[in-house]
């Protein structure tokens, strides 16, 4: 098992070249008190720091695999590398920061908190978004915010095809080009309140070199909320 290290503050340190992911996650779940935790040599392992339910500060020094920080609650998880499918999936609260790029379905079904990706995100970023805020410094792939219900997706780069397909009430902001809009997604007026919201989200993500006024807003046309035979071809 890992042993504590003492620096300016108490730090739990895990080395996944020696410790197992199960040992890491069990320790984070069983200890009542939170604190700063450093995870070294993650080596692309899956399910690192999942299901946290305390205000930990977890620093992962390297790349991780699938579902890192899934179901996060209260904790701050920072990945100093890239991540695989489903990072911050079903996040409830807290903060997840990816300093590299993310694979598919980043922030899927996230209900609260904030996910920041400083690189690019692949397909289905923010799929079924339910209340969290996602900020991507780079670009995203196709089907971004598919069936997004609530929350915000801010993309500083470009967005792939079928953005906002079958969208409900999530707000989508894109600074670059959009390859194509999905069913029932339309461009909407970017009012002062929306510029202020983007500015706030960029500041919270510590992105200070992007102008909030350069974004465009996309949302639901609200035609597919209820089944209507005239819209059959759009479903």
Structure tokens at 65: 């695999």
Is 110 in contact with 91 (CB distance < 8 Å)? Answer: yes
- Convert the pLDDT of each residue in 85-122 to its tens digit: 999 999 999 999 999 999 999 999 999 999 999 999 99
- Convert the pLDDT of each residue in 150-195 to its tens digit: 999 999 999 999 999 999 999 999 999 999 999 999 999 999 999 9
Nearest to 5 by CA among 54, 39, 29: 39
CATH number at 204 reads 2.160.20.60
Asked if residue 53 has pLDDT above 80, the reply is yes
Question: What does the alpha-carbon distance between residue 95 and residue 56 come to, in Å, rounded to a whole number?
Answer: 10
Nearest to 142 by CA among 84, 182, 82: 182
Structure tokens at 36: 């700063």
Q: How many domains does the chain have?
A: 1
Structure tokens at 42: 């993650």
Q: What is the mean pLDDT of residues 142-147?
A: 97
Instruction: Please indicate, yes or no, if residue 86 is contained in any of the structural domains.
Output: yes
**Three-class secondary structure of residue 214 per DSSP:** helix
Q: What is the mean pLDDT of residues 129-134?
A: 98
Instruction: Please indicate, yes or no, if residue 184 is contained in any of the structural domains.
Output: yes
For residue 70, give its domain range.
Answer: 43-221
Instruction: Please indicate, yes or no, if residue 229 is contained in any of the structural domains.
Output: no
Instruction: Please indicate, yes or no, if residue 230 is contained in any of the structural domains.
Output: no
- Convert the pLDDT of each residue in 113-131 to its tens digit: 999 999 999 999 999 999 9
Rg (CA), the chain: 18
pTM: 0.92
Instruction: Please indicate, yes or no, if residue 182 is contained in any of the structural domains.
Output: yes
For the chain, the average pLDDT equals 92
Instruction: Please indicate, yes or no, if residue 228 is contained in any of the structural domains.
Output: no
Place of tokens 């992007």: 210
Instruction: Please indicate, yes or no, if residue 227 is contained in any of the structural domains.
Output: no
Neighbours of 204 (CB within 10 A): 13
Instruction: Please indicate, yes or no, if residue 134 is contained in any of the structural domains.
Output: yes
Secondary structure (DSSP) of 23-68: HHHHHHHH-SS--EEEEE--TT-SSTT-S-BS--EEEEES---TTT
């Amino acid at each position: 098992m890992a042993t504590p290290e003492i620096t300016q503050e108490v730090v739990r340190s895990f080395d996944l070249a020696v410790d197992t992911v199960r040992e890491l996650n069990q320790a984070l779940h069983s200890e009542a008190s939170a604190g700063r935790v450093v995870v070294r040599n993650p080596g692309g392992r899956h399910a690192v720091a999942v299901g946290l339910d305390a205000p930990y500060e977890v620093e992962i020094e390297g790349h991780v695999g699938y579902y890192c920080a899934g179901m996060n609650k209260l904790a701050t998880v920072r990945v100093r590398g890239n991540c695989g499918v489903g990072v911050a999936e079903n996040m409830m609260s807290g903060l997840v920061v990816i300093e590299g790029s993310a694979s598919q379905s980043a922030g899927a079904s996230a209900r609260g908190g904030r996910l920041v990706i400083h690189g690019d995100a692949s397909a289905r970023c923010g799929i079924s978004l339910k209340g969290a805020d996602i900020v991507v410094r780079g670009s995203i792939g196709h089907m971004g915010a598919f069936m997004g219900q609530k929350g915000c997706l801010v993309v500083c780069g470009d967005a792939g095809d079928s953005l906002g397909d079958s969208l409900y009430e999530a707000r989508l902001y894109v600074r670059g080009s959009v390859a194509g809009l999905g069913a029932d997604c339309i461009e909407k007026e970017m009012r002062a309140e929306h510029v202020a919201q983007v500015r706030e989200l960029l500041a919270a993500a510590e992105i200070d070199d992007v102008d909030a006024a350069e974004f465009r807003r996309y949302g639901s046309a609200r035609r597919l909320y209820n089944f209507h035979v005239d819209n059959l071809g759009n479903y």
